[in-house]
Chains A and B, each alone.
Chain A
């Protein structure tokens, strides 16, 4: 019911083998549109963080064990976020929200820790000083990830409301998807549904 692939579209077209280019705006996924950029940057950080941690753990683990283990953990979180954002199914989106949240908490916690106790971090991690060594991208990335995922969660919810309730809810949902911001619209759509049912 919440599947975005359920839209009636090019399946009805008579010619079977035509342009693979989607002329009609398809529902897409978290990996399309701005998500394409997001997945690219996540993949970059997944590669750099885990490769760096791998080299450090293999060659000089005793030098800064906490920093290297945290780098390895960060790398795994980035890999998880990259894969789940690229898959984009409802279940994958839930895991993506979790990994982006862990990432945001991690960069804030490790950033603060590295400033408060520099002795533990003789060598930098991706998240040291809030990711300053990486142009603060590690701090900004999970925020954009969560905002992007929130848009998709909302779109799935509004799709459900259009399926259950009438045109009014559909209008509200269209406005919400178009704006992509503001918590009020999502709530109003829910209220409409609630009113329609009671």
Chain B
């Protein structure tokens, strides 16, 4: 039960860290934004939307965390992280574009840990 429960957040953490690592490697090797990197950002976006859906379903089922306002703030902000990073990174035609994407990957991973702190039923 708990392993099924934590599958999506754990996947997001691994995917976020992997994306950050790949993007930082591109920065280190002086590469610009690329299509594979954008595709990876797209995958992260889909995973985050799935996670938002799971949490919304729990809320709709009548469960409530202690910090409901904070949780709702996270639910609203979460899907914008990869989108904003993609736009801001694409505007940069240098190695620092991928560096912006790396931040988005790290943030996605940190957000999952924070979600668990806000609402412990969200397992990691």
Contacts and interface: CB of A to CB of B under 8 A. Distances in A.
Asked if A and B bind, the verdict is: yes
Nearest to A40: B100
Contacts of A32: 92, 94, 96
A192 interface: no
B91 A36 contact: yes
A60 to B, nearest CB: 10
Contacts of B96: 32-37
Interface in A18-55: 21-22, 32-37, 39-41, 43-44, 47, 51-52, 55
Contact of B73 (A35, A36, A39, A55): A55
Given A41-B103, A52-B70, A36 B88 contact: yes
B94 A33 contact: yes
B93 interface: yes
A36 B77 contact: no
Contacts of B88: 36, 39-40
Interface residues of A, number: 19
> Chain B: interface residue count, which band?
10 to 19
A14 B82 CA distance: 39
Contacts of B91: 36
Interface in B34-81: 67, 69-70, 73, 77
B97 A44 contact: no
Contact of B97 (A36, A39, A59): A36
B103 A51 contact: no
A41 B67 CA distance: 25
A43 B87 CA distance: 14
A6 interface: no
19 contacts: A22-B93, A32-B94, A35-B96, A36-B89, A36-B94, A36-B96, A37-B96, A37-B103, A39-B88, A40-B85, A40-B88, A43-B84, A44-B103, A47-B77, A51-B73, A51-B77, A55-B69, A55-B70, A58-B69
